[in-house]
Each structure stands twice: as C-alpha cells, then as structure tokens.
Chain A
Amino acid sequence: MKQAELLIIGGGPAGLCAAISAASSGANVLVAERNKNLGGQLVKQTHMFFGSEKQYASTRGIDITGILLNELSKYKENVEIMTDTTIVGMFEDGVVTALHKEDNYFKIKPDAVVVATGAFEKALAFPNNDLPGIYGAGAVQTLMNVYGVKPGNKVLMVGAGNIGLIVSYQLMQAGVEVSAILDAAPRIGGYLVHASKIRRMGVPILTSHTVKEAIGKEFLEKAIVCQVDDKFNQIEGTEIEFDVDVMCISVGLTPLNELLSMRGCQMKYVPQLSGIVPLRNENYETTIENVFAAGDTTGVEEASAAMVEGYLAGLCAAAKIGHMTDDFEERKNDYVKQLESLRSGPVGKHILSGIEQIVIKGEQYV
C-alpha cells in the first residue's frame, strides 16, 4: 500500500495547480496522470489564453504546462509525480487503486484526494455518425498540433463555440480547407473575435443549421446539412451537400465523473455545467469528507477557470489535512476573486447559474 498525504488525480491544468498550491502549503503530494505527459489538453492548445495575467492570458496553452511544471519543481521534496498511472477505483474505506503502465496494479491510502479528471468530448446523433473521418474536434487538434498529421483535406466543423472556432482556425494554419462551420443555435456561441477571424478567411458560419446525414461506405465522403427552425426541427428542402472527408464534432464536453460517482459523492445533472457533477462546498470539497474536486470534472469551463479552481481546491485540501498556512484566507480570497472575474461575462453568468445548484453553503470544514 502506497502512502500519500494528498493524492491528486489528473495532471492537467486543474491537477497541476492543485499540486502547486498544496505543495506550497507544505503537504506531501502525489500526482497520478494516466497519460505519459503532464499538462492534459494544454498540449494541443496553440491559441493564446484570455483572462488576466494570473491565468497566463496572452500565453499560448502549449507554453503554460512548462510554466506550471517549473513552478511545481520548486517543491521537489514533497511532490511525487506518476505518469502512465490510471486511477481505476476509489473505495469506501478510502483506498484508491491504480494501474501503472499495463500490468502494475497497486493501492494508495491518501488522507485526502483532489479529483481533477477533466472532461471528454460529446458526440452528436445523426445517421452514420460513426463513420471514420468523423472525429471529435479535440481529437483533430491532437492529431494536428501534437503529431503534425492532417486529419484530411476538407473539413466540416459542427459547432461554433470557442473550440469549433479555434480548431477551424488551427486547421487552416495547418493547411487544411474548412468548408463551413455549422451551429444549430441561432447565434454563434464562441467569442466574436474568433468568429470574425474565421469569416475574414472566407469560411461561412451557418447558424440554425445541423447535420442531417453523413454519407460514405468505409469512411466519410459527404455530409448533408440542413436548416433547423426555432425548435431545432429540421426544415425539409433546405439541404446543402458538402464534399468533405472530415467532420469535426464540437458540441461541447461533458465531465469525467466516474471516480466521484464510484466513491459515492452526491452527484447532480446540471445542464449549465454540461453534465453530471458533484455537489460541493465553497472549498471544492464534495459530500464525501476529504474528497475534493476541481476543474472540468466539476463543470465544463475553460482551462483558465480550471487552473484557479485547482489552486483553490489544493489550498483547501492541504489545510483540511493539517497544512493551514498563515496566508490561507488571503490566498483563498484571491482565488475566489479571480474566479468571479473570469465568470463576469455572459458565459460566466450561465456557468454561475449552474454552480448555484451544486454549492452547499455553510459546510466548510476548514
């Protein structure tokens, strides 16, 4: 049985920030990351971040991992990082089971856990949506920006949120043609600054449109698109055919919540947070004592918010198990203010209406 004071599950933006903040409070931290590299999905984010300086605004996502790892390296003596390590179970007696590489199973008994497992891409239902050539937008981003491989020749992007817009731009940077971007909603969901950039490059953004059908035998050869009415019903006679060999599905992400559910944390479906998320207090502690959660697993937002949530959860988890720092209140208030500022726009308002449904007030154990 491996001993650890604080186990952090996931080495993405939320997990790394939780590790930094807990280690700087004096806790002994073990980070378990299933991938061989740390940084989670930052590795493919070539765009510059928004937010303020504290969340590395104007820095490209790909460079943020290095900044965080550099910060974490200051606490070498109390931080252990295990990559290629998947947490496969969390049990009632507090035991956590892990799988390192392919066949090395072991147990961990931590005093507290921060679950920062992130999110995964949703799919969209339409005939033949399982054809090869139809990929998650994030998958295409990985293929291009991490491995330097083009997904195909002509792409139809489904979803005009920030990921859809950003990945469309990145496809063009990689020399791939984007035929159009669709969104079933009557308005573009992403930032207009991204949308205008794409439109200037001549790519049409078709709002109130959806995929009617994908066509192909072994892989995608064509996509049929049609208009939808204000109740999202398809309108007959409005079909447009696109000769594309790739379709990117960018209809949002949903929290990876299996471990929290397995541990018995109270969960709730909250549409504003994109799926089933844990109830928690203001310190990001779930309904199971000493089990904390941070980042997209508590509700899908951007990496900037995930990082601040990570700092906050790491700070509170460390304090909870005996590493209360003198500047605890000051640091906590700073993180709370940063989150408030990140959530001050219209998208933030939507997120906050979701958070309201999961935060249990007045139950702070710290």
Chain B
Amino acid sequence: MRIEQHPILQFHKGKKLKFTFNGEEVEGFEGETIAAALHAAGVKVLGRSLFLHRPRGFYCAIGNCSSCLMTVNGKANVKTCVTDLEEGMVVETQEGKGVII
C-alpha cells in the first residue's frame, strides 16, 4: 500500500532492502522505518499487550507511545516507528516484556 502518485510530494525511495518478519522475507526501502516498511507490506499487528495479549499496532509514529515495540536482531523493546530499516534485519513480534540484559 504505497502512494504511487502525489500532487505535492515526490517520494525518493532508497535502495531495496530485504529483512524478515517472524521468519518470512519482506521487502522495504532504505531510509524508511521498520514500522513503515511493515505497514507497506500489510503488517498492522506489531505486538501483543503484556497482560491481555491484545494486538498492538503503532499509534504515534514519532517514538513517544511505545505501542510499536518489537524484537529486532534479538534485541527487545525496539521502537520500530523511529528505527531505520537495515538489510537483513530479523524483526519479530515481541511476546511479553522482553529481556534486555
């Protein structure tokens, strides 16, 4: 779901990047965030709430609300709405609080 034509903006997409989401290969572009690349690929559910396990998507997209936390390259609680996508990233839905240390 990418915008193909826009009356004001031109989107200069970066290099195509491959990454995995829960083990499946997904494509995105350099210069975009993990959450934006996932959303473009049709992924809306980024995680589960801690206690009731309700689906979680992003909410603010500017790194404030913590609704988009995921496990990236094995590291928990990454704010995917402000973290740039990189080639070969392993992105996973996070279950529970995640372990940092």
Residues of A within 8 A of B (CB): 34-36, 41, 46, 60, 62, 120-121, 123, 130-136, 138-140, 142-152, 173-175, 218-219, 256
Residue of B nearest to A147 (CB): B36
| Interface-centre pick from B11, B62, B84 (highest chain A CB count, 10 A) | B62
Q: Is the CB of B2 within 8 A of A150?
A: yes
* In the bound complex, CA of A306 to CA of B52 (Å): 40
* In the bound complex, CA of A114 to CA of B7 (Å): 37
Residues of A within 8 A of B63 (CB): 34-35
CB distance from B45 to the nearest CB of A (A): 5
Q: Is the CB of A147 within 8 A of B57?
A: no
CB-contact partner of B3 in A138, A144, A152, under 8 A: A144
Interface of B is mostly: loop
Q: Is the CB of B3 within 8 A of A175?
A: yes
Residues of B within 8 A of A219 (CB): 44-45, 55, 57
* In the bound complex, CA of A132 to CA of B47 (Å): 10
* In the bound complex, CA of A219 to CA of B57 (Å): 8
Say yes or no: A136-B60 contact (C-beta < 8 A), given A36-B84, A175-B5, A218-B45.
yes
- Interchain residue pairs with CB less than 8 A apart (9): A35-B62, A35-B82, A132-B55, A135-B57, A139-B60, A175-B3, A175-B4, A218-B45, A219-B45
CB-contact partner of B65 in A34, A41, A120, A145, under 8 A: A120
Residue of A nearest to B65 (CB): A120
Residues of B within 8 A of A145 (CB): 9
CB distance from A1 to the nearest CB of B (A): 26
Residue of A nearest to B46 (CB): A132
CB distance from B78 to the nearest CB of A (A): 9
Q: Is the CB of B2 within 8 A of A132?
A: no
Say yes or no: A149-B3 contact (C-beta < 8 A), given A142-B62, A219-B45.
yes
Decide if B99 is an interface residue (CB 8 Å cutoff): no
Say yes or no: A142-B61 contact (C-beta < 8 A), given A132-B44, A132-B45, A150-B3.
yes
Say yes or no: A148-B45 contact (C-beta < 8 A), given A36-B84, A120-B60, A135-B58.
no
Which residues of B, 35-64, contact A by the 8 Å Cβ criterion?
Answer: 36, 39-40, 44-46, 49, 54-64
Q: Is the CB of B44 within 8 A of A147?
A: no
CB distance from B64 to the nearest CB of A (A): 5
**9 pairs of A and B residues whose beta carbons are closest in the complex:** A132-B57, A139-B61, A148-B11, A147-B36, A132-B44, A150-B1, A142-B61, A149-B40, A120-B64
* In the bound complex, CA of A354 to CA of B39 (Å): 39
CB distance from A303 to the nearest CB of B (A): 15
Residues of B within 8 A of A130 (CB): 49, 54, 56
Which residues of B, 67-101, contact A by the 8 Å Cβ criterion?
Answer: 81-82, 84
Decide if B15 is an interface residue (CB 8 Å cutoff): no
Q: Is the CB of A218 within 8 A of B55?
A: yes
* In the bound complex, CA of A130 to CA of B57 (Å): 8
Residues of A within 8 A of B3 (CB): 144, 148-150, 174-175
* In the bound complex, CA of A148 to CA of B7 (Å): 12
Residues of A within 8 A of B61 (CB): 135-136, 138-140, 142-143
Residue of B nearest to A41 (CB): B62
CB distance from A62 to the nearest CB of B (A): 8
